[in-house]
């Protein structure tokens, strides 16, 4: 979810617990009362914030897609031509790693429950994701100019698959530490892009 230093709002608390419970037990395996209990309010009290579970799911999946795109655009704007494309790519990777490590339930939720969204929300998620991918493709091609657009897009999707594997890395406390895990994922992502660029440059 959104990185912030002040206390989360009740709405954000509800979404965080809903994401965790949906990821652990599935959308249909969780009741409104359980989500309410997780944040210390009655199930019916949730309806002051959301009309139902479907609205929570939509806000979670549309919301994180929008946040990733907004964050990536902000990183590009902050570079403002001062940083080289390679530094910008590192920044994009860092931003996605933050998501992959801090919002692991949302990755599981996206994989399992995206089709439960109504058509308009699912289309919006896909639209936001396409824009996010294309932003990456543009930067990757600046760093590795030998890559064609389709090759760069394939590389970006492959790296997303790598970074989004975090739900399968083990439970919190079993990983080598956030900093070490982030550094490992970053090296692997850059290695994957570098390997793709080398293969094209080598004529493969």
Per-residue pLDDT of the chain (204 residues; tens, 9 = 90+): 444 446 779 899 999 999 999 999 999 999 999 999 999 998 788 899 999 999 999 999 999 999 999 999 999 998 876 678 999 999 999 999 999 999 999 999 999 999 999 999 999 999 999 999 999 999 999 999 999 999 999 999 999 999 999 988 766 556 678 899 999 999 999 999 999 987 655 555
CA distance readout (Å), 124 to 9, 111, 133, 136, 186? 25, 16, 14, 19, 29
Evaluate whether 162 touches 192 at the Cβ level (below 8 Å).
Answer: yes
| 35 is a domain residue | no
The alpha carbon of 151 is separated from its chain's Cα centroid by a whole number of angstroms, namely: 22
CB 200 within 8 A of CB 146: yes
Count the domains in the chain. 1
Whether 5 maps to a domain, the answer reads no
Please identify which residue in the block is written with the tokens 């991918």. Answer: 133
In-domain check, residue 2: no
Element counts in the chain: helices (H) and strands (E)? 8, 0
What CATH number is attached to the domain comprising 175?
A: 1.10.357.10
Residues spanned by the domain of 76? 54-201
CA atoms within 13 Å, Cβ hemisphere of 204: 6
């Amino acid at each position: 979810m959104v990185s912030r230093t002040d206390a989360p709002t009740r709405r954000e608390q509800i979404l965080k617990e809903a994401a965790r419970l949906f990821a652990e037990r599935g959308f249909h395996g969780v009741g409104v009362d359980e989500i309410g209990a997780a944040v210390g309010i009655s199930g019916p009290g949730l309806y002051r914030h959301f009309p139902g579970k479907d609205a929570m799911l939509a806000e979670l999946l549309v919301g994180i897609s929008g946040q990733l795109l907004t964050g990536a655009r902000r990183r590009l704007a902050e570079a403002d031509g001062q940083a080289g494309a390679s530094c910008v790519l590192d920044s994009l990777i860092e931003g996605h790693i933050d998501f992959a490590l801090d919002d692991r339930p949302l990755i599981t939720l996206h994989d399992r429950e995206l089709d439960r969204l109504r058509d308009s929300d699912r289309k919006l998620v896909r639209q936001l994701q396409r824009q996010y991918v294309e932003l990456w493709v543009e930067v990757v091609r600046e760093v590795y100019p030998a890559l064609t657009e389709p090759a760069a897009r394939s590389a970006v999707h492959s790296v997303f698959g790598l970074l989004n594997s975090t739900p399968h890395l083990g439970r919190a406390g079993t990983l080598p530490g956030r900093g070490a895990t982030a550094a490992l994922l970053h090296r692997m992502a850059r290695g994957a892009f570098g390997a793709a660029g080398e293969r094209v440059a080598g004529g493969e």
